Amino acid sequence: MEIWMTAVKVVLVLYLIISYAGSELKEAPWFVLFILIYFSMNITIYIFKNTKVRAVLHIALIFLILVAQYRVYPLLIILLSINVFELGRLFKKEKLVMLLLTMIPLFYLHQNVFTAYFLATTLCFMIYMVIDLYSERLNRLREQTDVMRKNIQRLVNRLSSNEEYLRQSEYTYRLEERNRISQEIHDHIGHAMTSALIQMEASKRLMETGETEQALSLLQNAIQISKAGIERIRVTLKNMKPAKEQIGINRIKLMASEFASKHHIAVPLTHKGNLDVITPLQWKVLYENASEALTNVLKYAEATMVSIEIHVFNKFIKMVVKDNGKGAEKIKRGLGIIGMEERTAALNGQIITDGSDGFSVTTLLPLDEVSHKKI
């Protein structure tokens, strides 16, 4: 703002110098002194940040201009309006009020000065309005940028903590699963195999001493124990494997089916591509995002149908949950959408929402970085 106002003052002073050079007045030293004092005071105004000091300097400058127009050169009055506008802006006064104040000299100015002052005041007011308008816009943009920067930093911090939490959770889960399997093998299968081995060793010795009947009995027991151990291994492996309805697409199918039957809203589910490349962690995010989207449909959409589409492409996974409800002209990012964004961003993905035709939530997850991710 100060730069543009200074530029306007420079233009006005150049006009005054040219005008004075063509006049017949002989007060050149006083004119030069006034110009030097004028620029010195303006520079001083821009140096100080204190509002009161700047206001005093502006008032002194206005007084100097009013005196100089009588004592030095009448046309110096054209510098009055720009300083009055600056003073008004300093105290945040109405622009039209300041314009009316600058019009007061028009009632007593000589005809030779009247036109120049009127044109200078009008031009300064228009420039002042434009500069002030763009200054306000620039300040608003700066404030919005600061807010967005803080929000981005907050989201980055939350995403970092969420990603670390996911990594720690998966690592802890793996350790717990390994410990459980180890304990299962030790408590049941290990004991059974040890007992069978002991009985087979005893059977071998009995056969060497000729006690065939007892040896066969021990051998039969070892066989039974081995069979029981093998069965125990089979049962353990079966228990380790999740139920079919708890895995991937089947879990989402079950959720869609339960939602449709409970709330009487059709939920068609389609999928394309190789679903086997989707990792368990990605399935978890897809399931939770679909669940949250269905919950939002129930709360806000007034829809009769919600479609779920999952497409697996070469580089990314795309899931679209779209309803035929009333949609939304302006999308408000509530806790549900923010939660989806954070979960998805933790896997380097993205959430896209659209309320123009019904309401749709699109989840995009990359395959390259996450599907081969190791902890």
Question: Is residue 244 very low, low, confident or very high in pLDDT (cuts 50, 70, 90)?
Answer: very low
Task: Say if residue 369's pLDDT is above 90.
Answer: no
The answer to whether residue 243 scores a pLDDT higher than 60 is no
CA neighbor of 361 nearest in space, from 302, 310, 304: 310
Q: What pLDDT shows up at residue 97?
A: 75
* % pLDDT > 90, the chain: 15
pLDDT, tens digit (0-9, with 9 covering 90-100), for 314-324: 999 999 999 99
Long-range pairs for 290-293: beta carbons < 8 A, 24 or more residues apart: 290/252, 290/255, 290/256, 290/319, 290/321, 291/255, 292/336, 292/339, 292/340, 293/321, 293/340, 293/361
Q: Are 280 and 318 in contact (CB under 8 A)?
A: no
**pLDDT above 90: residue 54:** no
Confidence of residue 268 (pLDDT cuts 50, 70, 90): very high
- pLDDT category at 289 given cuts 50, 70, 90 is very high
Q: What is the dihedral of CA 106, 110, 112, 118, to 10 degrees?
A: 0
Q: What pLDDT is stored for residue 300 in this prediction?
A: 86
What is residue 352's predicted lDDT score, i.e. its pLDDT?
A: 93
pLDDT value for 105: 81
Q: How far is CA 350 from the centre of its chain?
A: 11
In angstroms, rounded to a whole number, what is the distance separating the alpha carbons of residues 264 and 303?
10
pLDDT at res. 373:
43
Please report the pLDDT score of residue 371 as a whole number: 45
Most confident of 5-9, 99-103, 232-236, 349-353: 349-353
Q: How does the average pLDDT of the chain come out, rounded?
A: 80
User: Average pLDDT in the 26-33 region?
Assistant: 80
Predicted pLDDT of residue 349: 93
Pairing assessment for the beta strands 316-323 and 306-312 based on DSSP bridges: antiparallel
The lowest-confidence range among 13-17, 66-70, 178-182, 308-312 is: 178-182
pLDDT for the residue 247:
65
SS (H, E, C) the chain: CHHHHHHHHHHHHHHHHHHHHCCCCCCHHHHHHHHHHHHHHHHHHHHCCCHHHHHHHHHHHHHHHHHHHHHCCHHHHHHHHHHHHHHHHHCCCCHHHHHHHHCHHHHCCCHHHHHHHHHHHHHHHHHHHHHHHHHHHHHHHHHHHHHHHHHHHHHHHHHHHHHHHHHHHHHHHHHHHHHHHHHHHHHHHHHHHHHHHHHHHHHHHHHHCCCHHHHHHHHHHHHHHHHHHHHHHHHHHHHHCCCHHHCHHHHHHHHHHHHHHHHCCECCEEEECCHHHCCHHHHHHHHHHHHHHHHHHHHHHCCCEEEEEEEECCCEEEEEEEECCCCCCCCCCCHHHHHHHHHHHCCCCEEEEECCCCEEEEEEEECCCCCCCCC
pLDDT for 368: 63
Confidence of residue 158 (pLDDT cuts 50, 70, 90): confident
Which of 97-111, 167-181, 203-217, 291-305 ranks highest by mean pLDDT? 291-305
pLDDT score of 363: 95
Across 75-89, 151-165, 213-227, 269-283, least confident range: 151-165
Cα–Cα distances in angstroms (integers) from residue 56 to residues 2, 52, 92, 196, in the given order: 17, 6, 16, 104
Q: What is the pTM of this model?
A: 0.41
More confident residue, 342 or 5: 342
pLDDT digits (tens, 9 = 90+) for 117-149: 888 888 888 877 777 777 778 888 888 888 888
